Amino acid sequence: MANLLVVDDEVDIREVLTLMLSTAGHAVDTVADGGQALAALDARHYDLVLLDRTMPVLDGLAVLARLRSRAVPSPPVLMVSALTSRADRAAAEAAGARGFLGKPFDRARLLQKVDDLLGDDPEVPLRTA
């Protein structure tokens, strides 16, 4: 079981992700924006962060930039976004996301991405779907 943080401003997405991930055996915490995500990461260890791209306060790319600037290592981040162009995926990778999952998504693809990243080597390139 892994400790996961889901960051999305849409309550329905947070609930769906929580259900899918918790029934797969993971412990899931959720927050609604990038500022809350940074506070949660300061307060607790997470094995993986599932991060929406478009949110109030701080968007996903801004959160990634802040995580990269920290002195302490950050957990891998799976960007989960409805913005799925090549440019959007490239921006996520350049910002430090270790994986990308386009919305809408299905349970099998989500769990495969999570499993891949929980065992990920930091030298492996970004995996997209």
Considering only CA atoms, which of 3, 2, 8 is closest in space to residue 105?
8
pLDDT in tens, 15-51: 999 999 999 999 999 999 999 999 999 999 999 999 9
Q: What is the pTM of this model?
A: 0.90
Tell me which architecture the domain covering 3-118 has in CATH: 3-Layer(aba) Sandwich (3.40)
The residue ranges of every structural domain in the chain are 3-118
Whether the Cβ atoms of residue 60 and residue 88 lie closer than 8 Å to each other: no
pLDDT in tens, 103-128: 999 999 999 999 999 985 444 444 44
